[in-house]
Amino acid sequence: MIEKKVLPEEENVNKREESKKTDQEASRQVKVERLSREGIDLFPHNVKTTHSASDIVESFSPLSKEELEEKKVIVIVPGRIMSIRRMGRATFFHIADSRSRLQVYLREDKIGKKNYQLFSLVDIGDIVSVKGALFRTKTEELSVLAESFTFLAKCFHPLPEKWHGLQDVELRYRKRYLDLIMNPEEKEVFRFRSAMITDIKKFFDQKGYIEVETPMMHAIPGGALARPFKTYHNALGMDLYLRIAPELYLKELIVGGFEKVYEINRSFRNEGISSEHNPEFTMLEFYQAYSDYFDMMDLTEELINDLSLTLLGKEEITYGEHKISLKRPWKRIKFKDVLVEYSGLAPSRFQDRAGVMELASTLTSDKKSLSYGKALDVIFDKYVKQNLIQPTFVMNPPREVSPLAKASKESPDEAERFELVMAGMEIANAFSELTDPEEQKKRFTEQAEARKKGDEDAHWIDMDYVHALEYGLPPTGGEGIGIDRLVMILANRKSIREVILFPLLRPKE
RNA sequence: GGCCCGUUAGCUCAACUGGUAGAGCAGCGGACUCUUAAUCCGCAGGCUGAAGGUUCGAGUCCUUCACGGGUCACCA
């Protein structure tokens, strides 16, 4: 009885799946069955190849028709079929690898009637390897004259349109593989990203830094002002938080005697999603003993300028409608001056504290925890940031919003800290690290009070970290750079989702 | 979370003030041995994101919901 009840349901499930199949998928299924009947392995374990399509394009493009004919280069080349042009007893098709497309010319008289018939069961999207000699067509296109072909994988679904590619943004993010198959320029973005990270590592390695890995799961989330993701460790029976920043651990390594450390890895913040925010994002953080935030400014200029020269071969880049010059030196301006200069607000408006507080309170819903320092920060975000297109070091923000930075000697309300803003986006954040344990404890206590008042982003008290400081942290400059945003700027992409392979989306259905 | 916009064939897009849902590519069948967005002839493909409502009649108007994009808020 039970089995009978279960079975029809299963059948229904299968039927539903089958009825979901489109006519095109059904037709591919029929081909699969016919090929299997012919004893053809559609998913072989391996394949021997001699070249990739890119290899061939790179190595043989300079050769003329005659040179190719004379050399008789036989290749075995794999690739995904991107287009097919059948013309009776001859067929042209293109195969693609990660960089290049290569044309294949297939003739019935060359590969035999039987094989030519089998090829009629090949679809766009299938992965094959082709063996044959290189030649040039009448129109001079470098091509393979096929002697044989082998299935490497069957594609069960039709590919998106060959001319327009995949346009639907949602589909592009949900099925990134389709985006990558269809839109080669998207592949370039991720190739660029990879090259950039390689160069960053080279840059720091050459300067004597060591790359380290610190925990991603923290008992106390620290190093930034942000809301964390919470998780739970069963065996230890404890709550853990995904890190919001690696900062505190990296400074503990400086205490431990590594003078220069960096880490490139994910941090996680449980906050809104936007074209500039993904809940998990990649941050570069680096710390250098015996330096301060001025040294960090120099280093930052050098790094980003280097990256642009190495990867793009220029110092002037285009970002959307803006031209951005990365020529050194970059603008350095104090936080309080930038407010006056770029906010568009009358300087007099910053003269009385009450007026500033009032203005800020109209800009934010979070009024409970609004202090003077926070109020200035709110005004900066709302009125100033978007106007800073050229790279700008905004120096000495309020001390109150910088609980891990040294206070400025001359103006104790300010922090020895800067934010690097570019294209209206915050790219980096650095300070002369606060090294005095007593002062750090005081700052943490201030933060705890702010938290009590409802500031959910206030820093947690981390006595382990204070304890580490008690052993002596030398004067240290430290910085975090948002890698995703830096890729956005250098690769000219307007959304962070365009530079993260799998951005977070709500599951559909 | 607020507001605005979008969701139509596998893909890219049409469909006027409510009146029979269409094209290109892809697919299927046929012709074609140098094509390249191949060409030519023919065919098939849709519960218009989901659920309600208004109407003689809804892809189109209204409500709710889902997902996405933009923007504001939040957020370094």
A113 touches strand B (CB under 7 A): no
CA dihedral defined by A438, A443, A444, A450, rounded to 10 degrees?
A: 150
Q: What gap in Å lies between CA A92 and CA A392, rounded to an integer?
A: 54
∠ CA A28-A29-A30, nearest 5°, is 90
Q: Is residue A78 part of a domain?
A: yes
Half-sphere exposure of A399 (CA within 13 A, CB side): 17
Question: Of A159, A174, A203, which one is at a domain's C-terminal end?
Answer: A159
Q: Is residue A345 part of a domain?
A: no
Residues A150 and A221 in one domain: no
A20 touches strand B (CB under 7 A): no
What was the pLDDT predicted at A366? 61
A122 touches strand B (CB under 7 A): no
Q: Is residue A344 part of a domain?
A: no
Residues A412 and A462 in one domain: yes
A366 touches strand B (CB under 7 A): yes
Q: Is residue A77 part of a domain?
A: yes
Q: What gap in Å lies between CA A326 and CA A324, rounded to an integer?
A: 6
Mark residues 279-338 of chain A whose C-beta is closer than 7 A to nucleic acid strand B. none
Residues A244 and A154 in one domain: no
A45 touches strand B (CB under 7 A): no
A49 touches strand B (CB under 7 A): no
Buried b (16+ CB within 10 A) or exposed e, A264-286: bbebbbeeeeeebebbbbbbbbb
Residue A109, C-beta contacts closer than 8 angstroms, at least 6 positions apart: A89
What was the pLDDT predicted at A21? 83
ipTM of the prediction: 0.93
Q: What gap in Å lies between CA A392 and CA A297, rounded to an integer?
A: 10
A345 touches strand B (CB under 7 A): no
Closest CA to A429 of A258, A297, A249: A297
Q: Is residue A49 part of a domain?
A: yes
Residues A186 and A273 in one domain: yes
The domain spanning residue A108 has which CATH number?
2.40.50.140
A362 touches strand B (CB under 7 A): no
What was the pLDDT predicted at A346? 79
Question: Of A94, A125, A159, which one is at a domain's C-terminal end?
Answer: A159
A383 touches strand B (CB under 7 A): no
- Strand B nucleotides in reach of protein CB atoms, 7 A cut-off: 1, 6, 9-13, 24-28, 31-39, 44-45, 66-76
Residues A103 and A188 in one domain: no
Q: Which nucleotide has the shortest C1'-to-CA distance from A161? A: B11
Residues A113 and A42 in one domain: yes
Parallel, antiparallel, or unpaired: how do β-strands A322-325 and A331-334 relate? unpaired
A175 touches strand B (CB under 7 A): no
Question: Does a cis peptide bond (omega within 30 degrees of 0) precede residue A329?
Answer: yes
Residue A212, domain extent = 182-330+390-498
Q: Is residue A338 part of a domain?
A: no
What was the pLDDT predicted at A367? 57
Which residues in chain A show pLDDT less than 50? 1-19
Residue A481 tokens, joined: 């750079």
Task: List Cα–Cα distances, A74 to A69, A123, A147, A262, in angstroms.
Answer: 11, 25, 10, 48
What was the pLDDT predicted at A86? 96
What was the pLDDT predicted at A369? 59
A494 touches strand B (CB under 7 A): yes
Residue nearest to nucleotide B44 (CA to C1'): A23
3-state SS assignment for residue A36 = helix
Residue by residue, DSSP assigns A312-376 as: HS-SEEEETTEEEE-PSSPEEEEHHHHHHHHS-S-GGGGT-HHHHHHHHHHH-S--TT--HHHHH
Residue A308 tokens, joined: 């642009």
Residues A97 and A208 in one domain: no
Q: Which nucleotide has the shortest C1'-to-CA distance from A369? A: B74
Residues A187 and A272 in one domain: yes
Q: What gap in Å lies between CA A29 and CA A413, rounded to an integer?
A: 71
Contacts of residues A188-192 at CB distance under 8 Å and 24 or more positions apart, as own/partner, are A189/A487, A189/A491, A189/A493, A189/A498, A189/A499, A190/A499, A190/A501, A192/A311, A192/A487, A192/A490, A192/A491
A275 touches strand B (CB under 7 A): yes
pLDDT tens for each residue of A109-128:
999 999 999 999 999 999 99
pLDDT tens for each residue of A181-228:
999 999 999 999 999 999 999 999 999 999 999 999 999 999 998 889
Residues A137 and A187 in one domain: no
Residue A265, C-beta contacts closer than 8 angstroms, at least 6 positions apart: A213, A216, A246, A282, A283
Residue A186, C-beta contacts closer than 8 angstroms, at least 6 positions apart: A172, A179, A180, A498
Q: Is residue A395 part of a domain?
A: yes
Closest CA to A406 of A433, A366, A382, A385: A433
Mark residues 425-454 of chain A whose C-beta is closer than 7 A to nucleic acid strand B. 426, 429
List the A167 CA – B6 C1' distance (angstroms): 13
Residue A164 tokens, joined: 């327009």
Q: Which nucleotide has the shortest C1'-to-CA distance from A158? A: B10
| Single-letter residue type at A424 | G
Residues A281 and A395 in one domain: yes
A111 touches strand B (CB under 7 A): no
What was the pLDDT predicted at A6? 33
Buried b (16+ CB within 10 A) or exposed e, A439-457: ebbebbebbeebbeeebeb
A505 touches strand B (CB under 7 A): yes
Q: What gap in Å lies between CA A328 and CA A26, rounded to an integer?
A: 60
Residues A124 and A235 in one domain: no
Q: Running DSSP on this structure, what letter comes out for residue A285?
A: E
Burial category of A321 from C-beta neighbours within 10 Å (exposed 0-12, middle 13-18, buried 19 and up): exposed
∠ CA A108-A80-A156, nearest 5°, is 95
Q: What gap in Å lies between CA A450 and CA A457, rounded to an integer?
A: 9
Residue A427, C-beta contacts closer than 8 angstroms, at least 6 positions apart: A391, A420, A421, A481, A482, A485, A486, A489
Number of domains in chain A: 2
Question: Of A159, A190, A221, which one is at a domain's C-terminal end?
Answer: A159
List the A174 CA – B67 C1' distance (angstroms): 11
Mark residues 196-255 of chain A whose C-beta is closer than 7 A to nucleic acid strand B. 224-226
Residues A247 and A213 in one domain: yes
Closest CA to A325 of A310, A309, A337: A309
Q: Running DSSP on this structure, what letter comes out for residue A428?
A: E
Torsion sign, CA atoms A369, A373, A374, A378: positive
Q: What gap in Å lies between CA A282 and CA A285, rounded to an integer?
A: 10
Q: Is residue A144 part of a domain?
A: yes
Burial category of A57 from C-beta neighbours within 10 Å (exposed 0-12, middle 13-18, buried 19 and up): middle
The domain spanning residue A308 has which CATH number?
3.30.930.10
What was the pLDDT predicted at A1? 27
